């Protein structure tokens, strides 16, 4: 079955989530 | 953190609604796929908000949706690299 998800979607940039370095 | 509800979303403008959902999804996706988290979140955010709320309430459905996104992304990347010679 074909997925409805689009690999060309715009990347999400989190506002509040701090990435552990 | 309180759960995101349909009425909370309805009070926000459409672009902000996606951001609000994304802020909830991102940490969950980041825990599973650190390097792809931003991309996968962006892909999932194209789903209807009502379905996204259901996914947030159902870790199992969310996990399978994330796996689906990873598979789509990897298939796409494989295609890209095959076609990217000119």
Per-residue pLDDT of B6-43, as tens digits, reads 999 999 999 899 999 999 999 999 999 999 999 999 99
Convert the pLDDT of each residue in B38-72 to its tens digit.
999 999 999 999 999 999 999 999 999 999 999 99
Residue A1 to chain B, least CA–CA distance (Å): 11
A3 touches chain B (CB under 8 A): yes
Helices marked H in chain B:
6-10, 14-32, 37-44, 49-57, 59-83
CA distances from B84 to A8, B11, B73 (A): 15, 44, 16
Q: Is the pLDDT of residue A17 over 90?
A: no
ipTM: 0.81
Q: How far apart are CA B44 and CA B55, in angstroms?
A: 10
What confidence category does residue B82 fall into, taking pLDDT thresholds of 50, 70 and 90?
confident
Q: State the count of interchain CB pairs (< 8 A) between A and B.
A: 54
């Amino acid at each position: 079955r074909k997925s409805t998800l689009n690999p060309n979607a715009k990347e999400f940039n989190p506002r509040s989530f701090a990435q552990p370095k | 953190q309180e759960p995101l509800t349909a009425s909370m979303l309805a009070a926000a403008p459409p672009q902000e609604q996606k951001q609000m959902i994304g802020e909830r999804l991102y940490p969950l996706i980041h825990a599973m796929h650190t390097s792809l988290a931003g991309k996968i979140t962006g892909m999932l955010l194209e789903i209807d908000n009502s379905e996204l709320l259901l996914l947030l309430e159902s870790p199992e459905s969310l996990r399978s949706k994330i796996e689906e996104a990873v598979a789509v992304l990897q298939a796409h990347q494989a295609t890209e690299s095959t076609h990217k010679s000119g």
